[in-house]
Amino acid sequence: MKLINTENACVKELVINWHMTEVCNYSCKYCFAKWGRPNELHRSEQDIIKLLDKLADYFIKGTPTLKKDIGYESVRINFAGGEPMMLGNTFITALMLAKQRGFKTSTITNGHYLISGKLVLPKNSLDMIGISFDSQNLKTRHQIGRTDRKGNSFGSDDLKQALVMLAQSQKGIKTKINTVVNNLNVDENFAELIDELKPNKWKVLHVMPYGDDELLVSKEQFDRFVKRHSGLGLPVFTESNSAMTESYLMINPQGCFYQNKANKVGYEYSENINLCGVEKALSQIEFNPRTFASRYLKESIDIVTI
Protein backbone atom coordinates (compact mmCIF):
# COMPACT_ATOMS: atom_id res chain seq x y z
CA MET A 1 0.00 0.00 0.00
CA LYS A 2 1.48 3.30 -1.05
CA LEU A 3 0.86 5.88 1.69
CA ILE A 4 0.81 9.55 0.77
CA ASN A 5 1.49 12.32 3.30
CA THR A 6 -1.82 13.66 4.60
CA GLU A 7 -0.28 16.86 5.96
CA ASN A 8 -1.15 15.97 9.57
CA ALA A 9 -4.81 15.42 8.71
CA CYS A 10 -6.72 13.71 11.51
CA VAL A 11 -9.75 11.56 10.71
CA LYS A 12 -11.62 10.10 13.67
CA GLU A 13 -12.91 7.02 11.91
CA LEU A 14 -11.46 4.59 9.38
CA VAL A 15 -14.06 2.95 7.16
CA ILE A 16 -13.58 -0.48 5.58
CA ASN A 17 -16.15 -1.35 2.94
CA TRP A 18 -16.81 -5.08 2.72
CA HIS A 19 -18.84 -5.95 -0.35
CA MET A 20 -20.16 -9.22 1.06
CA THR A 21 -22.02 -10.39 -2.02
CA GLU A 22 -22.69 -9.64 -5.64
CA VAL A 23 -26.28 -10.86 -5.31
CA CYS A 24 -28.96 -8.17 -5.44
CA ASN A 25 -32.71 -8.03 -5.91
CA TYR A 26 -32.28 -4.98 -8.14
CA SER A 27 -30.40 -4.64 -11.42
CA CYS A 28 -29.15 -1.06 -11.55
CA LYS A 29 -27.55 -0.38 -14.91
CA TYR A 30 -24.65 1.61 -13.45
CA CYS A 31 -23.74 -0.98 -10.80
CA PHE A 32 -20.01 -1.77 -10.60
CA ALA A 33 -20.36 -4.67 -8.12
CA LYS A 34 -19.76 -7.43 -10.65
CA TRP A 35 -17.17 -10.04 -9.83
CA GLY A 36 -18.50 -12.98 -11.83
CA ARG A 37 -20.12 -14.64 -8.82
CA PRO A 38 -16.92 -15.80 -7.10
CA ASN A 39 -16.80 -18.21 -4.17
CA GLU A 40 -18.13 -15.66 -1.71
CA LEU A 41 -16.45 -15.77 1.68
CA HIS A 42 -19.69 -15.32 3.66
CA ARG A 43 -20.69 -18.92 2.89
CA SER A 44 -18.43 -20.03 5.75
CA GLU A 45 -19.02 -18.54 9.21
CA GLN A 46 -15.50 -19.54 10.16
CA ASP A 47 -14.13 -17.53 7.24
CA ILE A 48 -16.19 -14.51 8.35
CA ILE A 49 -14.78 -14.85 11.87
CA LYS A 50 -11.23 -15.22 10.54
CA LEU A 51 -11.52 -12.14 8.33
CA LEU A 52 -12.99 -9.95 11.07
CA ASP A 53 -10.36 -11.17 13.55
CA LYS A 54 -7.53 -10.30 11.15
CA LEU A 55 -9.00 -6.86 10.43
CA ALA A 56 -9.51 -6.16 14.14
CA ASP A 57 -6.01 -7.32 15.08
CA TYR A 58 -4.44 -5.09 12.45
CA PHE A 59 -6.59 -1.95 12.38
CA ILE A 60 -7.95 -1.80 15.96
CA LYS A 61 -5.42 -3.56 18.19
CA GLY A 62 -2.35 -2.91 16.06
CA THR A 63 -0.46 0.27 15.21
CA PRO A 64 -0.34 0.29 11.41
CA THR A 65 1.30 3.10 9.47
CA LEU A 66 -2.14 4.15 8.28
CA LYS A 67 -3.25 4.78 11.88
CA LYS A 68 -0.25 7.00 12.48
CA ASP A 69 -0.83 8.85 9.21
CA ILE A 70 -4.49 9.79 9.61
CA GLY A 71 -4.91 9.39 13.37
CA TYR A 72 -8.16 7.47 13.38
CA GLU A 73 -9.68 6.53 16.73
CA SER A 74 -12.27 3.96 15.64
CA VAL A 75 -12.87 1.59 12.74
CA ARG A 76 -16.19 1.02 11.02
CA ILE A 77 -17.06 -2.00 8.90
CA ASN A 78 -19.50 -0.97 6.19
CA PHE A 79 -21.39 -3.97 4.83
CA ALA A 80 -22.20 -3.48 1.17
CA GLY A 81 -23.05 -5.55 -1.89
CA GLY A 82 -24.90 -6.24 -4.08
CA GLU A 83 -27.56 -6.14 -1.43
CA PRO A 84 -26.12 -7.44 1.86
CA MET A 85 -29.54 -7.85 3.49
CA MET A 86 -30.39 -10.55 0.95
CA LEU A 87 -28.03 -12.79 2.94
CA GLY A 88 -30.52 -12.80 5.83
CA ASN A 89 -29.17 -14.41 9.00
CA THR A 90 -25.64 -14.49 7.55
CA PHE A 91 -25.70 -10.70 7.32
CA ILE A 92 -27.02 -10.44 10.90
CA THR A 93 -24.31 -12.83 12.12
CA ALA A 94 -21.54 -10.82 10.43
CA LEU A 95 -23.00 -7.62 11.87
CA MET A 96 -22.99 -8.94 15.43
CA LEU A 97 -19.53 -10.53 15.09
CA ALA A 98 -18.15 -7.18 13.97
CA LYS A 99 -19.74 -5.47 16.96
CA GLN A 100 -18.20 -8.04 19.31
CA ARG A 101 -14.75 -7.27 17.92
CA GLY A 102 -15.00 -3.56 18.57
CA PHE A 103 -15.97 -2.31 15.13
CA LYS A 104 -18.60 0.31 14.56
CA THR A 105 -21.07 -0.96 11.98
CA SER A 106 -22.94 0.38 8.99
CA THR A 107 -24.52 -0.90 5.83
CA ILE A 108 -25.45 0.35 2.40
CA THR A 109 -28.81 -0.95 1.21
CA ASN A 110 -31.44 -0.33 -1.44
CA GLY A 111 -33.97 -0.27 1.39
CA HIS A 112 -36.22 -3.10 0.19
CA TYR A 113 -35.55 -5.40 3.15
CA LEU A 114 -36.06 -2.62 5.68
CA ILE A 115 -39.79 -2.55 4.99
CA SER A 116 -40.52 -6.02 3.55
CA GLY A 117 -40.65 -7.70 6.95
CA LYS A 118 -38.26 -10.41 5.76
CA LEU A 119 -35.36 -9.23 7.92
CA VAL A 120 -35.42 -7.92 11.48
CA LEU A 121 -32.35 -5.99 12.57
CA PRO A 122 -31.29 -6.63 16.18
CA LYS A 123 -31.75 -3.54 18.32
CA ASN A 124 -28.83 -1.11 18.29
CA SER A 125 -26.77 -3.26 15.90
CA LEU A 126 -26.13 -0.45 13.42
CA ASP A 127 -24.34 2.83 14.06
CA MET A 128 -25.08 4.16 10.61
CA ILE A 129 -27.06 3.26 7.50
CA GLY A 130 -26.85 4.46 3.92
CA ILE A 131 -29.92 4.02 1.73
CA SER A 132 -29.51 4.27 -2.02
CA PHE A 133 -32.25 6.38 -3.56
CA ASP A 134 -32.00 7.73 -7.09
CA SER A 135 -35.43 8.98 -8.07
CA GLN A 136 -38.84 9.94 -6.73
CA ASN A 137 -40.31 8.89 -10.07
CA LEU A 138 -41.31 5.22 -10.48
CA LYS A 139 -40.73 5.24 -14.24
CA THR A 140 -37.21 6.61 -13.75
CA ARG A 141 -36.43 3.95 -11.13
CA HIS A 142 -37.60 1.28 -13.57
CA GLN A 143 -35.37 2.72 -16.30
CA ILE A 144 -32.36 2.74 -13.96
CA GLY A 145 -33.07 -0.82 -12.88
CA ARG A 146 -34.08 -0.10 -9.29
CA THR A 147 -36.88 -2.69 -9.29
CA ASP A 148 -37.07 -6.38 -8.40
CA ARG A 149 -38.36 -9.18 -10.62
CA LYS A 150 -41.95 -8.50 -9.55
CA GLY A 151 -41.66 -4.82 -10.43
CA ASN A 152 -41.48 -3.66 -6.81
CA SER A 153 -39.50 -0.48 -6.27
CA PHE A 154 -38.49 1.43 -3.14
CA GLY A 155 -40.18 4.83 -3.38
CA SER A 156 -40.29 8.06 -1.38
CA ASP A 157 -42.98 6.85 1.04
CA ASP A 158 -41.00 3.65 1.65
CA LEU A 159 -37.91 5.73 2.39
CA LYS A 160 -39.81 7.84 4.93
CA GLN A 161 -41.21 4.71 6.61
CA ALA A 162 -37.79 3.04 6.75
CA LEU A 163 -36.16 6.02 8.46
CA VAL A 164 -38.92 6.16 11.10
CA MET A 165 -38.54 2.44 11.84
CA LEU A 166 -34.75 2.68 12.05
CA ALA A 167 -34.95 5.57 14.52
CA GLN A 168 -37.11 3.38 16.74
CA SER A 169 -34.91 0.26 16.70
CA GLN A 170 -31.38 1.69 16.34
CA LYS A 171 -30.67 4.24 19.05
CA GLY A 172 -28.62 7.18 17.82
CA ILE A 173 -28.25 5.79 14.28
CA LYS A 174 -26.84 8.21 11.72
CA THR A 175 -28.62 8.21 8.37
CA LYS A 176 -27.34 8.85 4.89
CA ILE A 177 -29.09 8.98 1.54
CA ASN A 178 -26.95 8.07 -1.49
CA THR A 179 -27.97 9.41 -4.89
CA VAL A 180 -26.08 8.47 -8.05
CA VAL A 181 -26.50 11.31 -10.53
CA ASN A 182 -26.99 9.89 -14.02
CA ASN A 183 -28.61 10.79 -17.31
CA LEU A 184 -32.05 9.74 -16.09
CA ASN A 185 -32.22 11.81 -12.90
CA VAL A 186 -29.85 14.70 -13.61
CA ASP A 187 -32.75 17.16 -13.99
CA GLU A 188 -34.71 15.94 -10.97
CA ASN A 189 -35.14 18.14 -7.90
CA PHE A 190 -34.63 16.40 -4.54
CA ALA A 191 -34.64 19.51 -2.34
CA GLU A 192 -38.11 19.13 -0.82
CA LEU A 193 -37.65 15.41 -0.09
CA ILE A 194 -34.23 15.75 1.52
CA ASP A 195 -35.41 18.71 3.57
CA GLU A 196 -38.32 16.63 4.88
CA LEU A 197 -36.22 13.55 5.64
CA LYS A 198 -33.39 15.48 7.32
CA PRO A 199 -30.72 12.77 7.04
CA ASN A 200 -27.31 13.38 8.59
CA LYS A 201 -25.88 13.34 5.10
CA TRP A 202 -27.06 13.34 1.50
CA LYS A 203 -24.23 11.97 -0.59
CA VAL A 204 -24.42 12.92 -4.26
CA LEU A 205 -22.21 10.78 -6.47
CA HIS A 206 -21.22 11.19 -10.10
CA VAL A 207 -22.09 7.97 -11.93
CA MET A 208 -18.91 5.98 -12.61
CA PRO A 209 -18.05 4.70 -16.13
CA TYR A 210 -18.36 1.00 -15.25
CA GLY A 211 -21.92 0.24 -16.31
CA ASP A 212 -24.28 1.46 -19.03
CA ASP A 213 -22.58 4.28 -20.95
CA GLU A 214 -25.98 5.76 -21.81
CA LEU A 215 -26.35 6.77 -18.16
CA LEU A 216 -23.14 8.80 -18.05
CA VAL A 217 -23.27 12.55 -17.47
CA SER A 218 -20.56 15.14 -17.96
CA LYS A 219 -18.80 16.97 -15.15
CA GLU A 220 -20.72 20.08 -16.15
CA GLN A 221 -24.07 18.29 -15.84
CA PHE A 222 -23.07 16.87 -12.45
CA ASP A 223 -21.93 20.29 -11.25
CA ARG A 224 -25.24 21.85 -12.32
CA PHE A 225 -27.14 19.22 -10.32
CA VAL A 226 -25.03 20.02 -7.26
CA LYS A 227 -25.37 23.79 -7.71
CA ARG A 228 -29.16 23.47 -8.00
CA HIS A 229 -29.29 21.81 -4.58
CA SER A 230 -26.69 23.99 -2.87
CA GLY A 231 -27.34 26.94 -0.59
CA LEU A 232 -30.65 25.48 0.62
CA GLY A 233 -29.51 24.22 3.99
CA LEU A 234 -29.36 20.61 2.80
CA PRO A 235 -26.59 18.29 4.07
CA VAL A 236 -25.15 17.84 0.57
CA PHE A 237 -21.80 16.06 0.17
CA THR A 238 -20.52 15.42 -3.32
CA GLU A 239 -18.14 12.86 -4.74
CA SER A 240 -16.75 13.28 -8.22
CA ASN A 241 -15.13 10.43 -10.10
CA SER A 242 -11.67 11.64 -9.10
CA ALA A 243 -12.63 11.73 -5.41
CA MET A 244 -13.72 8.10 -5.61
CA THR A 245 -10.40 6.90 -7.04
CA GLU A 246 -7.98 5.17 -4.63
CA SER A 247 -9.84 6.70 -1.66
CA TYR A 248 -11.83 3.72 -0.37
CA LEU A 249 -10.64 0.66 1.53
CA MET A 250 -12.68 -2.07 -0.15
CA ILE A 251 -12.91 -5.84 0.25
CA ASN A 252 -14.59 -7.96 -2.42
CA PRO A 253 -16.86 -10.99 -1.78
CA GLN A 254 -13.86 -13.33 -1.91
CA GLY A 255 -12.09 -11.49 0.90
CA CYS A 256 -9.48 -9.58 -1.15
CA PHE A 257 -8.72 -5.87 -1.01
CA TYR A 258 -9.50 -4.24 -4.34
CA GLN A 259 -9.09 -0.76 -5.73
CA ASN A 260 -10.04 1.32 -8.75
CA LYS A 261 -7.18 2.95 -10.61
CA ALA A 262 -6.80 6.46 -11.96
CA ASN A 263 -7.24 6.62 -15.76
CA LYS A 264 -7.79 2.86 -15.97
CA VAL A 265 -10.85 0.65 -16.38
CA GLY A 266 -11.37 -2.14 -13.88
CA TYR A 267 -9.70 -2.95 -10.57
CA GLU A 268 -6.53 -4.25 -9.02
CA TYR A 269 -6.84 -7.02 -6.43
CA SER A 270 -4.79 -8.27 -3.53
CA GLU A 271 -4.36 -11.84 -2.43
CA ASN A 272 -6.98 -13.29 -0.09
CA ILE A 273 -6.68 -11.55 3.29
CA ASN A 274 -7.38 -14.75 5.23
CA LEU A 275 -4.49 -16.48 3.46
CA CYS A 276 -1.80 -13.80 3.36
CA GLY A 277 -2.76 -11.40 6.16
CA VAL A 278 -3.87 -7.78 6.15
CA GLU A 279 -0.47 -6.11 5.88
CA LYS A 280 0.65 -8.08 2.83
CA ALA A 281 -2.72 -7.72 1.12
CA LEU A 282 -2.70 -3.95 1.68
CA SER A 283 0.75 -3.68 0.13
CA GLN A 284 -0.67 -5.08 -3.12
CA ILE A 285 -3.14 -2.25 -3.80
CA GLU A 286 -2.94 1.54 -4.03
CA PHE A 287 -4.75 3.52 -1.34
CA ASN A 288 -4.55 7.30 -1.11
CA PRO A 289 -5.01 8.37 2.54
CA ARG A 290 -4.95 12.05 1.54
CA THR A 291 -8.02 11.63 -0.67
CA PHE A 292 -9.70 9.47 1.96
CA ALA A 293 -9.00 12.06 4.64
CA SER A 294 -10.17 14.95 2.47
CA ARG A 295 -13.62 13.39 2.15
CA TYR A 296 -14.10 12.93 5.89
CA LEU A 297 -12.37 16.14 6.95
CA LYS A 298 -14.84 18.10 4.84
CA GLU A 299 -17.69 16.32 6.57
CA SER A 300 -16.32 16.95 10.06
CA ILE A 301 -15.96 20.65 9.30
CA ASP A 302 -19.33 21.12 7.61
CA ILE A 303 -21.60 18.93 9.70
CA VAL A 304 -20.46 15.72 11.33
CA THR A 305 -18.07 12.87 10.61
CA ILE A 306 -20.04 9.71 9.84
Q: Is the dihedral of CA 54, 127, 122, 107 positive or negative?
A: negative
User: For the segment 243-302, what is each residue's pLDDT rounded down to a tens digit?
Assistant: 555 568 999 999 999 987 666 667 889 999 999 999 999 999 887 766 666 655 544 333
- Spatial separation of the C-alpha atoms in residues 302 and 296, rounded to whole Å: 10
Q: How many residues in total does the chain contain?
A: 306
Q: In terms of DSSP bridges, do strands 74-80 and 13-19 run parallel, antiparallel, or are they unpaired?
A: parallel
DSSP alpha helix (H) spans, 71-190: 89-100, 112-115, 138-144, 156-169
Residue-level pLDDT at 265: 64
- Note down the domain range covering 223: 13-302
In this structure, what is the dihedral angle of CA atoms 201, 262, 278, 49, given to the nearest 10 degrees? 50
Establish if 208 belongs to a structural domain. yes
Residue-level pLDDT at 7: 45
Write the CA distances from 73 to 107, 200, 276, integer angstroms. Answer: 20, 21, 26
Name the average pLDDT for the chain: 88
- Spatial separation of the C-alpha atoms in residues 250 and 256, rounded to whole Å: 8
Nearest C-alpha neighbor of 286 from the set 242, 243, 249: 249
Write the CA distances from 58 to 16, 30, 51, 55, 93, integer angstroms. Answer: 12, 34, 11, 5, 21
Q: Write phi, then psi, for 21 (nearest 5 degrees).
A: -150, 155
Nearest C-alpha neighbor of 199 from the set 228, 224, 166, 231: 166
Q: Write phi, then psi, for 288 (nearest 5 degrees).
A: -105, 95
Establish if 7 belongs to a structural domain. no
Establish if 42 belongs to a structural domain. yes
Establish if 134 belongs to a structural domain. yes
Establish if 237 belongs to a structural domain. yes
Establish if 3 belongs to a structural domain. no
What is the band of 182 on the pLDDT scale with cuts at 50, 70, 90? very high
Q: Classify burial at 220, counting beta carbons within 10 Å of its beta carbon; exposed 0-12, middle 13-18, buried 19 or more.
A: exposed
Mean pLDDT of 130-146: 97
- Spatial separation of the C-alpha atoms in residues 274 and 2, rounded to whole Å: 21
Rounded to the nearest 10 degrees, the angle between the axes of helix 89-100 and helix 45-55 is 30
Establish if 4 belongs to a structural domain. no
Mean pLDDT of 123-142: 98
CATH of the domain at 22: 3.20.20.70
- 176-199 burial, b if ≥16 CB within 10 A, otherwise e? bbbbbbbbbbbebebeebbeebeb
For 68, the 3-state DSSP assignment is helix
User: For the segment 47-74, what is each residue's pLDDT rounded down to a tens digit?
Assistant: 999 999 999 999 999 999 888 888 899 9
- Spatial separation of the C-alpha atoms in residues 103 and 48, rounded to whole Å: 14
What is the band of 207 on the pLDDT scale with cuts at 50, 70, 90? very high
Total domain count for the chain?
A: 1
Q: Classify burial at 21, counting beta carbons within 10 Å of its beta carbon; exposed 0-12, middle 13-18, buried 19 or more.
A: buried
User: For the segment 151-175, what is each residue's pLDDT rounded down to a tens digit?
Assistant: 999 999 999 999 999 999 999 999 9
* Highest mean pLDDT out of 7-16, 131-140, 237-246: 131-140
Establish if 8 belongs to a structural domain. no
Q: What is the pTM of this model?
A: 0.89
